[in-house]
Amino acid sequence: MFIVNVEAAIHKDGRWLIIQRGLKEEHEPGTLSLVGGKVDQEGNVADVLEHTVKREVEEELGIILKDNVRYVHGVSFVAGDSVHVINIVFLGEIASGEPYRKSPDEVENIYWMTSEEILNHQKTPPWLKDSITKADKLLLTKKQ
């Protein structure tokens, strides 16, 4: 069995919305990350992954995403406590609101960063670099 996690790659004015994970988080506290969280058991829900990523963004940052979230990529990994995780990244656009630390236990800081700043930051884990690189490529194809 897997835990299913979703994240939103949100781009605006040449920058990505990045959080620093809460310092009390179990997995990778204090590192840079896309915003997201685990898929809950909600019964019969259409588009459960898209619904979850929109819910998580609103719960953690207080912003609403447009309905047109797009799949970027998915990976599986084993977390430090031998928990198998599937992580799925979506490209999202803000429909309304300005991001703030709505969930301060989960979000230590909020940044708008260029791809280059993310790729060169000392607190950027390899999987975030991979997600941003892939989201950049999808963003380019979307503009064409």
Sign of the C-alpha dihedral computed for residues 14, 62, 132 and 25 taken in this order:
positive
Q: Which of 11, 15, 21 is nearest to 127 (CA)?
A: 21
Query: Does residue 27 have a pLDDT over 80?
Result: no
- pLDDT given for residue 144 in this prediction: 57
Q: Rounded mean pLDDT of the chain?
A: 92
Listed by start position, the domains of the chain span 3-143
- pLDDT given for residue 55 in this prediction: 95
Q: How far apart are CA 116 and CA 64, in angstroms?
A: 26
Q: Tell me the CATH number for domain 3-143.
A: 3.90.79.10
Query: What number is the average pLDDT over the span 15-19?
Result: 98
Query: Which tens digits make up the pLDDT trace of 85-144?
Result: 999 999 999 999 999 999 999 999 999 999 999 999 999 999 999 999 999 999 888 665
- Predicted model pTM: 0.92
